[in-house]
Each structure stands twice: as C-alpha cells, then as structure tokens.
C-alpha cells in the first residue's frame, strides 16, 4: 500500500542549483498535483495534470516545470533555485471527477535554498 | 480576486464547544467541495467531501455547501483536544485548490 511516494524527504540547495522532486503513485489515478506550503500557510497549486501527456499551470508555476510521461510519475523540476522556493512541497493524486474524489498526499519534501 | 478565501484564525475553543469553519469561493465551475485536516508536519487528509448544495453529516462533523452564495462550512460538534489541527477547505474540478487553512486549538 505505497500510495503516493515523494523523494527526497529533505534537501538543501544552493542558489542557482537545479533539482527534480520525484513523485510516484500506484493507485492508477489520472489526476496528479504539486503544491507548495509555506510556514503557517495553505497549499498553493504549482502544476497539475489530468492524465499522461497533459499538464497545466496552477496558481504559482513560475520557476518550476513538470512532465507527465506516465500515469504513475509526475516529477517537479526546479531550475535556478531561489530562496523564495524554500518551502514544503507536496505531491498528491486523485481520481477527481469520479465517485471517489479523495486526493491522497505524499509525505512532503522539505526544501531549503541557501 | 482569490479563488477561495478562508479565515486563517487561529481559533481557540474549550473542549465541548461547537466549531464553525468557513470558506467563500468565486468560481462557480468548481464541482466538488472538501474539507481536509492537517496535523503539524504531515500531509493533509480528507475529512469530508460533497458535490451538491446542502448538508452532509459524518459523526461529529457536518459539511454544508451553499452553491448560490458560493459558501462552504464545516461544523464540529463536541470538539475534542484531538481535533486541534489546521482545517483546509478545498474546491475541485479539473484542478484542486485549497484555502489558506484555519488553525484550530481545542483546550481541555
């Protein structure tokens, strides 16, 4: 019962470095999402995907890129990391649009840019 | 205009109190309305969801949706210290948007 798996759990990046946050789900969900959560704040949608090969921008897409080549995987790419990208990143998946609309979340990736 | 507005609180209530949490939204395209609970340093977990106007009850929790007013509420009866958490409303369609969350503390 893996659900949604995010790697890594923690990462420290230097300004200007790049990295990819990995997200994989084994529930055959069509919808996947990336959020960031700043301290004491809610979740802000970065990118989402309604199926393999389809991605769309959310509320705060600048500085990020995504791809969805398979149903299972939805990696988030940070290019030229900036201190403003210090946050906790959550990946989620759901079968939204069907009877079971629950979004399942990964455990989060705590990213610090210094 | 933000797509969803939620009072961030914090809200502090005594054990046994009735808690009312609310969100307003602007886009009538949203079809699903949810409440998530998030404990510190954890991912959110679904508490309740509904897709129609009216009330939905689950134990001590009642979710209320008024599509005409674009207003959703969560009521917690007989609140317990274990209910202390951040509660986030969420709106779903193709994308899933969250409110800022209301931090609730229930003290004994």
Average pLDDT over residues A78-84: 94
User: With 70 as the cut, is the pLDDT of residue A1 above it?
Assistant: no
Q: How is residue A8 written in tokens? A: 């890594």
Residue of A41, A96, A107 with shortest CB distance to B96: A96
Question: Which residues from A are below 8 Å from B87, CB to CB?
Answer: none
Q: What is the largest CA-CA distance in chain A?
A: 44
Say yes or no: B58 contacts chain A, CB-CB below 8 A. Answer: no
Position A49 scores a pLDDT of 94
Q: Under a CB-based contact definition with an 8 Å cutoff, are residues B47 and B87 in contact?
A: yes
**Residue B78 C-alpha, separation from nearest chain A C-alpha, in angstroms:** 25
User: With 60 as the cut, is the pLDDT of residue A99 above it?
Assistant: no
Q: Residues of chain B with pLDDT > 70: what percent?
A: 99
- Cβ–Cβ below 8 Å for A101 and B43: no
Question: Which residues from A are below 8 Å from B96, CB to CB?
Answer: 31, 33, 45, 48, 92, 94, 96, 103
Selected for mutation to probe chain A from B44, B103, B104 (highest A CB count within 10 Å) is B44
Say yes or no: A39 contacts chain B, CB-CB below 8 A. Answer: no
Q: What is the rounded (10 degree) CA torsion for B68, A49, A33, B55?
A: 20
Selected for mutation to probe chain B from A29, A97, A101, A105 (highest B CB count within 10 Å) is A101
Q: Under a CB-based contact definition with an 8 Å cutoff, are residues A93 and A29 in contact?
A: yes
Rounded to the nearest integer, the mean pLDDT of chain A is 92
CA nearest B61: which of B72, B49, B73, B76? B76
Rounded to the nearest integer, the mean pLDDT of chain B is 91
pLDDT digits (tens, 9 = 90+) for A6-36: 999 999 999 999 999 999 999 999 999 999 9
User: With 80 as the cut, is the pLDDT of residue A2 above it?
Assistant: no
Question: Which residues from A are below 8 Å from B97, CB to CB?
Answer: 45, 59
User: With 70 as the cut, is the pLDDT of residue B41 above it?
Assistant: yes
């Amino acid at each position: 019962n893996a659900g949604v798996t995010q790697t890594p759990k923690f990462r420290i990046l230097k300004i200007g470095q790049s990295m990819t946050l990995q997200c994989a789900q084994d529930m055959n969900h069509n919808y996947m999402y990336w959020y960031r959560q700043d301290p004491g704040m809610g979740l802000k949608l970065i990118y989402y995907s309604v199926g393999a090969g389809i991605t769309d921008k959310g509320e705060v897409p600048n500085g990020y890129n995504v791809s969805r080549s398979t149903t299972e995987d939805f990696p988030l790419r940070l290019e030229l990391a900036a201190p403003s990208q210090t946050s906790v990143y959550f990946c989620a998946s759901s079968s939204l649009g069907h009877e079971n609309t629950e979004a399942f979340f990964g455990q989060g990736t705590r990213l610090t840019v210094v | 205009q933000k797509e969803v507005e939620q009072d961030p609180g914090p809200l502090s209530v005594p054990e046994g109190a009735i808690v009312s949490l609310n969100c307003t939204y602007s886009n009538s395209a949203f079809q699903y309305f949810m409440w998530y609970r998030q404990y510190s340093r954890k991912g959110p977990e679904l508490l309740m969801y509904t897709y129609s106007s009216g009330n939905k009850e689950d134990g001590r929790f009642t979710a209320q949706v008024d599509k005409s007013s674009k207003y959703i509420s969560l009521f917690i009866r007989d609140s317990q210290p274990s209910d202390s958490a951040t509660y986030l409303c969420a709106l779903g369609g193709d994308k899933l948007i969250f409110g800022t969350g209301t931090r609730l503390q229930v003290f004994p």
